[in-house]
Chain A
Amino acid sequence: AQSVTQLGSHVSVSEGALVLLRCNYSSSVPPYLFWYVQYPNQGLQLLLKYTSAATLVKGINGFEAEFKKSETSFHLTKPSAHMSDAAEYFCAVIVDTGRRALTFGSGTRLQVQP
């Protein structure tokens, strides 16, 4: 089974609309979850991470994510999309804390329509 699954390779929203990007993780992995954003031709930037503290995690640029153990989900949301949010978003987990490697989902490309 995949360690982390992102539903929807492409999501399109209107400027000002709610952004919801979905991420589900395997219950067999430790609950260390991350969201990264990648702008065109750039590296990845951390938006937020969950490491067993508060279940609602606030990140940069107005994004937040809620860890729901019962649903094995860690969806990313933003109340109002901005044109500058257009990018690719990756959910990631640490499967093995000894190995420390991030295991990434397949990514979701967010388009924001004017």
Chain B
Amino acid sequence: KAGVTQTPRYLIKTRGQQVTLSCSPISGHRSVSWYQQTPGQGLQFLFEYFSETQRNKGNFPGRFSGRQFSNSRSEMNVSTLELGDSALYLCASRLDYNEQFFGPGTRLTVL
């Protein structure tokens, strides 16, 4: 079974731009979570989607948004990029409660 995939793997943007990241979960998994990973703050929860509904959101500004499609694929969007948004963005999918399988991440650099 294919693992979680994320596209693109690397992205360079400038301040003020917006970006969309994509995540394809493991086949059959309906839950997708997004995390931001930085050296200073570690792994921080962004949001979780289940059956196209956002169930929870972490402590991030409204510039961070997401959605999930009927095939469980998910996208996250960051508008008006800031230098501090440079990070590794990880998505994870799960079949039922608990174990989350991570994708390889998208490395976003904001210049």
Q: Do A and B come from one complex?
A: no
Give A residues with C-beta under 8 Å from B. none
